[in-house]
Structure 1
Amino acid sequence: MSDLQTVLDGRWADVRNDVRAQMGELALTPDPDASTEEYRAEIAEAVRALARSRRPHQGFDPAYGGQGDVGGVVAAFQMLGHGDLSLLVKAGVQWGLFGGALQALGTARHHDRYLRDMMDGTLLGCFAMTETGHGSDVQHLRTTATYDADSHEFVIHTPEPGARKDYIGGAARDARMAAVFAQLVTNGETHGVHCFLVPIRTEAGDAVPGVTITDCGVKAGLNGVDNGRLVFDSVRVPREALLNRYADVSPEGVYSSHITNETRRFFTMLGTLVRGRISVAGGAASATQKALTLAVRYGETRRQFSDPATGEEVVVLDYLVHQRKLLPALATTYALQFAQNDLVSQMHDLQKPGAELDEERQRDLETRAAGIKAVGTWHATRTIQTCREACGGAGYLAENLLPALKADTDVFTTFEGDNTVLLQLVAKTLLSDYGRRVGKLDLAGKVRFGADLVAGTVLERTGARSVLRRGDLRDPGYQRWLLARREEHLIASGALRMRKALAPGADQFAVFNGAQDHLLTAARAHVDRIVFDAFAAVADQHPLLGRVLALHGLSVIEGDRAWFVEHGYLTAARTKAVTTAVNALCGELRPHARELVDAFGIPENWLDCPLLDGERTRPTQADEQHADTLTAVG
């Protein structure tokens, strides 16, 4: 294992290496010729094999046979993304979503009865939140759970077609129980969305009476996952089916919660399930790493067109345009992995067994998770497409793995939170934090704050700002200054625009809708800055990382160079220098491209495909040294 891989693997490097050793020999690549049913059966067996390995137990309460290592299990889960993404998602549904809801929202009565069976995979479950009519707007789901005080039961019901539970992983074939999110109703009063454990199949595999299960059918990707639809026709479950960590209903039907505000209670419950969102970001990162590994290694052997000086064909990765396709994306993939490592550490410290709920830190975790999931999955979609193009026709063949990566990750941008909605949530938090900071200023501070706004406007209009602060484009401190100033500027100007919504009689929706593009840009700028900071914090741990960080930072700045010019942070001439610096860094990192992708540590068995056959016919460095030795002896 290289030093670079150790840095990239981070806090749970040992866990990642254990997974490589434990599962690296398994054939975890999808068979493009398998039928949907064959593929689902293969993934179901792989899930059982995972359960037997006891790797999923790692993240659960030690009192029930787990190890309490929440971060470790998420790191292990991410490794599955180097293999088969259907397995990653299927495992995520079982132990991340269903198991996560059971552990985080349930209490001892649920843990005692179900947790061990869930961990062992003998109780397979699904996570029934999304409805046909409500995906992102979870707070207004239509499924109801009405308490019947006479029988001490909840009646789970789908009141209209739009309330059907849709796209539910595991529902179509394997799940026996669902964690169902529904509006809790007692004595005619609705108390908001809560989670209930609802059996959906008998041990024989038949649908429970009152439950209608249908298959979503073949999807664009992830066809090893049995997505289904659930409709409930007055299905009765005992009062104890309510996962009651944050709220409960007495036998007489009296509702109680220590969190009195319904909205705060709702977001507290959802916040405990943030692990799923973090895991999706990790899975997207792994898929991106795999695509880049395939494309870079292919680019080092694929030759096109002759060098006039030598007459020999040139490997495509020696062309600047090919480096431009892959190396900035590779640098950003490194940055996102370091941000992911930070995110998992933060989650682990907050959610390990026995940890006290810290609402402020939990809110920061949710904001970071939302932003990194959005930016990371969009990066995956864009980068995997670029890698496919970089491999030409070979990249279009299913046997070469890239088409499956494209298809399987496409939905990552909309599940576990639609990316656009997630960035809106990030923007809302940023505006709230900004308002609190400004509100805490004393009179003198508010005067300075107003003066700074006026001065900033003058600098922007005169173009003086780019003259007053002019640094080395490759300096991380200067890059960080540019990214932070963009973030601060966008948040402050967004807040000023949103102040109109506070005016008497204002059309609040119109104000928000009119500023929506601005707020999304501000959220993206915030995520760009925290990702850069995560990378900068470890860049001194390996000689290569400083240049990789510089390439990442400059590629982000280059991608938004119009904004920096419009707002006076860079001149047009300086943006040309940014492009020149990106080109130079691509050339400097070209000799290290293979080392950089090898540091992802993807087992060779999970990369085995005809695309890489060319490198197997090329002499290795060891072969060349052996040949030199023989020549010298001769």
Structure 2
Amino acid sequence: MGELALTPDPDASTEEYRAEIAEAVRALARSRRPHQGFDPAYGGEGDVGGVVAAFQMLGHGDLSLLVKAGVQWGLFGGALQALGTARHHDRYLRDMMDGTLLGCFAMTETGHGSDVQHLRTTATYDADTHEFVIHTREPGARKDYIGGAARDARMAAVFAQLVTGGPNEVSQTHGVHCFLVPIRSEAGDALPGVTITDCGVKAGLNGVDNGRLVFDSVRVPREALLNRYADVSPEGVYSSDITNETRRFFTMLGTLVRGRISVAGGAASATQKALTLAVRYGETRRQFSDPATGEEVVVLDYLVHQRKLLPALATTYALQFAQNDLVSQMHDLQKPGAEPDEERQRDLETRAAGIKAIGTWHATRTIQTCREACGGAGYLAENLLPALKADTDVFTTFEGDNTVLLQLVAKTLLSDYGRRVAKLDLAGKVRFGADLVAGTVLERTGARSVLRRGDLRDPAHLRRLLVDREEHLIASGALRMRKALAPGADQFAVFNGAQDHLLAAARAHVDRIVFDAFAAVADRHPLLGRVLALHGLSVIEGDRAWFVEHGYLTAARTKAVTTAVNALCGELRPHARELVDAFGIPQNWLDCPLLDGERTRPTEADEQHADTLTAVG
């Protein structure tokens, strides 16, 4: 790709920036990297995990390119491959991979974002002409924030309510399905019945041409329906192997989980870049003198500065290892020839939702912290951090609003918990009830904190605390939700009153699986064990009030947690540069005035960094 779109130019106009990103997309297509994740029968390589890992690396450069590429090959291409059949693949898949057919993903509506199941756009089948009529039936049904729609896309994957039944028949709505709808001519003009408007300048990602789409009775052939899971006959008869509408809807959306995983990966890369800039700057920026030596101290030698950056660095490592596991699991399930596994697919979707939520929130917090850690220099556009901050802000709400995603995680956890309890025999249910009573006694007496004592750096002890929190929150959440099953109960009020509890349970679950992913590889390098301990202790410190309130830690013990975090920050300070270098970000993607003051590194240190790169990579 040469020097295209490595970092955004803050002085470029919106049109210049969009043109540059469009050219970068074409260059990316010529590299054939995007082909990696598609069916070998059409010129791809079938390496689903590889293409998602490669996509994440774009996050070290220009995030507008990452998003634009994600729309083309992840969302539009993903819908085409996963929801379509041979008739769609034969006609469109090669052109989509090559970038000669640019598309967009038209799901979100002005009135419905997260609630996809109740979208208002309709696709009504006309049996006389064998066509679907795509229609925006009210202002709230306008497709909104659609990446690629404002400038470059020629076709849209449109999600709409499928309706069958002619003038003399009772209309039937079969739920949300996906349709391929041309929106522009080759000359770039909107096609008849399609109204395209530009969302305009955003807080970030202005290289992405987000637009709005309105359809006025646009007709597409019957074959435009992506019909892997459902079809309509020429006579207008609807059929699907999945008879339950809700299950069918979630099955269709589940095939698009790659987009959610990719967003988490892109957020991780942006976070790594911000930390690399802040840590390297912190090793050269000096403030105030050491009375003992009279020399000014580099800011990363101050504990308060270490506290800003090093726990966030540890958690970034943990999230990356969890992301690696997620990509590997997705690859196994989606590679060509893989046997369908509904249980593993459901687990993948739950993990993807949780890690996307926690990872993108972490990115938002950490990039802001890195900006502050670089002072005024971090506020200058030329030093890259402002663009990272602006471009990743929307990651918390696209590909699923984070709060809604954690609610989905909580729902799955409660369902699984209910099934486990239901399977218990009489003796098991007696033991289960006794455990609940015993837990209440331990909490009220403070005895639980005695039983949970251990070495705060021991991964097994840290994991036990995280597991305890997860299990406690899920079990107590399930008890609260039982009220909704009572005759005459106001189910919405019960759920609404427990939302904060359910979100806490979901977050505890994700914290535990992220810790487990890191712990599974922490013995690769001696340094990683201490990074793992800092991550685990930071999570516990961040929720220490809960651990005290529920009797898992005493107030004195939480002070020991803080002391241990401080000590680990000091121990990891000499390795901070080594740890950020291990992210492997190309130097030309980091070059900025912020790093002009760096000292030349000695050869011995470079060798140590190479060892760490080998261990982490």
Q: Does 1:340 align with 2:333?
A: no
Query: Contact 1:498/1:512 (CA < 8 Å) preserved in 2?
Result: yes
Rounded to whole Å, the distance in 2 between the matches of 1:329 and 1:208 is: 49
In the alignment, what sits opposite 1:29?
7
Structure 1, residues 228-278: CA drift from partner, whole Å, max 9, x if none?
Answer: 000000000000000000000000000000000000000000000000000
Task: Give the direction of change, closer, same or farther, for the CA distance of 1:207–1:631 in structure 2 (3 Å limit).
Answer: closer
Rounded to whole Å, the distance in 1 between the matches of 2:448 and 2:282 is: 42
Offset at residue 150 of structure 1 (A): 0.2
TM-score, reference length from structure 2: 0.97
In the alignment, what sits opposite 1:249?
232
Task: Give the direction of change, closer, same or farther, for the CA distance of 1:323–1:150 in structure 2 (3 Å limit).
Answer: same
Equivalent position SS for 2:307: helix
Task: Give the direction of change, closer, same or farther, for the CA distance of 1:621–1:542 in structure 2 (3 Å limit).
Answer: closer
Deviates more, 1:536-545 or 1:612-621: 612-621
Return the match for 2:304 from 316, 321, 324: 321
Equivalent position SS for 2:220: strand
Query: Contact 2:35/2:45 (CA < 8 Å) preserved in 1?
Result: yes
Task: Give the direction of change, closer, same or farther, for the CA distance of 1:39–1:442 in structure 2 (3 Å limit).
Answer: same
Task: Give the direction of change, closer, same or farther, for the CA distance of 1:505–1:620 in structure 2 (3 Å limit).
Answer: same
In the alignment, what sits opposite 1:520?
503
Equivalent position SS for 1:212: strand
Structure 1, residues 49-93: CA drift from partner, whole Å, max 9, x if none?
Answer: 000000000000000000000000000000000000000000000
Query: Contact 1:281/1:372 (CA < 8 Å) preserved in 2?
Result: yes
Offset at residue 25 of structure 1 (A): 5.7
Query: Contact 1:196/1:242 (CA < 8 Å) preserved in 2?
Result: yes
Offset at residue 468 of structure 1 (A): 1.7
Query: Contact 1:27/1:605 (CA < 8 Å) preserved in 2?
Result: no
In structure 1, runs of 5+ residues without a counterpart are: 1-22
Equivalent position SS for 1:131: coil
Structure 1, residues 259-303: CA drift from partner, whole Å, max 9, x if none?
Answer: 000000000000000000000000000000000000000000000
Query: Contact 2:578/2:609 (CA < 8 Å) preserved in 1?
Result: no
Equivalent position SS for 2:241: coil
Structure 1, residues 87-137: CA drift from partner, whole Å, max 9, x if none?
Answer: 000000000000000000000000000000000000000000000000000
Rounded to whole Å, the distance in 2 between the matches of 1:629 and 1:148 is: 62
Rounded to whole Å, the distance in 1 between the matches of 2:534 and 2:616 is: 45
Structure 1, residues 413-467: CA drift from partner, whole Å, max 9, x if none?
Answer: 0000000000000000000000000000000000000000000000000000011
Give identity over the alignment, percent: 97
Structure 1, residues 316-345: CA drift from partner, whole Å, max 9, x if none?
Answer: 000000000000000000000000000000
Equivalent position SS for 2:526: coil
Instruction: Provide runs of 4+ in structure 1 moved above 4 Å.
Output: 23-27, 616-634
Query: Contact 2:65/2:207 (CA < 8 Å) preserved in 1?
Result: yes
Rounded to whole Å, the distance in 2 between the matches of 1:443 and 1:256 is: 43
Query: Contact 1:27/1:606 (CA < 8 Å) preserved in 2?
Result: no
In structure 2, runs of 5+ residues without a counterpart are: 167-171
Q: How does 1:212-361 map to 2 (within 5 A)?
A: 212-361=195-344
TM-score, reference length from structure 1: 0.94
Rounded to whole Å, the distance in 1 between the matches of 2:413 and 2:610 is: 61
Query: Contact 1:24/1:603 (CA < 8 Å) preserved in 2?
Result: no
Query: Contact 2:367/2:385 (CA < 8 Å) preserved in 1?
Result: yes
RMSD: 4.0
Query: Contact 1:431/1:495 (CA < 8 Å) preserved in 2?
Result: yes
Task: Give the direction of change, closer, same or farther, for the CA distance of 1:250–1:455 in structure 2 (3 Å limit).
Answer: same
Offset at residue 26 of structure 1 (A): 5.0
Offset at residue 502 of structure 1 (A): 0.2
Task: Give the direction of change, closer, same or farther, for the CA distance of 1:78–1:632 in structure 2 (3 Å limit).
Answer: closer
Query: Contact 2:177/2:225 (CA < 8 Å) preserved in 1?
Result: yes
Instruction: Number of aligned residue pairs: give it.
Output: 612
Larger RCO, structures 1/2 (Cα 8 Å, 6+ apart): 1
Offset at residue 469 of structure 1 (A): 2.3
Offset at residue 577 of structure 1 (A): 0.2
Offset at residue 354 of structure 1 (A): 1.5
Rounded to whole Å, the distance in 1 between the matches of 2:616 and 2:37 is: 57
Equivalent position SS for 2:226: coil
Structure 1, residues 156-176: CA drift from partner, whole Å, max 9, x if none?
Answer: 000000000000000000000
Query: Contact 1:200/1:208 (CA < 8 Å) preserved in 2?
Result: yes
Query: Contact 1:426/1:523 (CA < 8 Å) preserved in 2?
Result: yes
Rounded to whole Å, the distance in 2 between the matches of 1:623 and 1:329 is: 24
Task: Give the direction of change, closer, same or farther, for the CA distance of 1:95–1:628 in structure 2 (3 Å limit).
Answer: closer
Rounded to whole Å, the distance in 2 between the matches of 1:259 and 1:631 is: 47
Equivalent position SS for 1:68: coil
Rounded to whole Å, the distance in 2 between the matches of 1:318 and 1:292 is: 16
Query: Contact 1:532/1:553 (CA < 8 Å) preserved in 2?
Result: yes
Query: Contact 1:465/1:569 (CA < 8 Å) preserved in 2?
Result: yes
Equivalent position SS for 1:544: helix
Equivalent position SS for 1:428: helix
Equivalent position SS for 2:598: helix
Structure 1, residues 375-419: CA drift from partner, whole Å, max 9, x if none?
Answer: 000000000000000000000000000000000000000000000
